[in-house]
Amino acid sequence: MTRSALLFLLALVLSCGAALGIGPAAAAERPPTPEQIERLLLASRAEQMLASTIPQMEQLQRQQFEQLTQGKNLTPEQRAEVDGIQTRTTQIVRQALSWQEMKPLYVQVYSQTFSADDVKAMTKFYESEAGRHMLDKTPLLMQNLMGAIQQKMIPLLQQLESELKTVSTEEAMPAPPVTAPQARRKAATPARKATTKKKAPAKKTTTKKKS
């Protein structure tokens, strides 16, 4: 669709809104034009931000492949096949996340999410000195944030690991067997007999005759 056609449709929607009595509040939420969104994407360095995420995704992908093949004795042919799959997967991810493929998606999502006034305000900020400074510091910010999160999580992970070791080394106690009432009574009878003392037989008394 050409730019003139988009402008015609936008003008048609606005004219229909005016005819239906839609006031200035609705007009303030008009969607941004593709040109406005592209200017915002350029000012916010969206392409560079997207490109910086690809190596991280590739690293996660390599870790997943290592986990899948860990502990398996692969033949050289199987290893070559796995390496080929990993290479093709990397190429697919790079193609899918290329700016050429993702830019239309960005424009669509921004158009559905933000109004024209929102896009103008964000563009103004990112084009300002403060906005550029924030973008310059964003990689360092993310690095420091991840380091702080790791430092906070290490004690928790150590505690969890200790608890898991305790559970794994603890011997499981067998459950007591369920017996019928008669069986329980029979089992208890010998115990009662064993605890009952037998009475000693009475001694006979003998009387000596007087001579």
Q: How confident is the model at residue 182 (pLDDT cuts 50, 70, 90)?
A: low
DSSP letter string over 186-208? HHHHHHHHHHSPPPPPPPPP--P
- pLDDT digits 0-9 by tens, 67-125: 888 888 888 888 888 889 888 988 988 898 899 999 999 999 999 999 999 999 999 99
pLDDT, residue 185, reads: 61
30-58 burial, b if ≥16 CB within 10 A, otherwise e?
A: ebbbeebbbbbbebbbbeeebeeeeeeee
Q: What is the largest CA-CA distance in the chain?
A: 155
Instruction: Look over the chain and give the mean of its residue pLDDT values, rounded to a whole number.
Output: 76
- pLDDT digits 0-9 by tens, 25-62: 334 589 999 999 999 999 999 999 999 888 888 888 88
* Residue 27 domain-assigned (yes or no): no
Strands (E) across 26-67 are located at: none
* Residue 102 domain-assigned (yes or no): yes
* Residue 41 domain-assigned (yes or no): yes
* Residue 120 domain-assigned (yes or no): yes
* Residue 74 domain-assigned (yes or no): no
CB count within 10 Å of CB 206 equals 5
Segments forming the whole domain that contains residue 119: 33-60+79-137
* Residue 206 domain-assigned (yes or no): no
Count how many domains the chain has: 1
pLDDT, residue 14, reads: 41
pLDDT, residue 12, reads: 39
* Residue 42 domain-assigned (yes or no): yes
* Residue 73 domain-assigned (yes or no): no
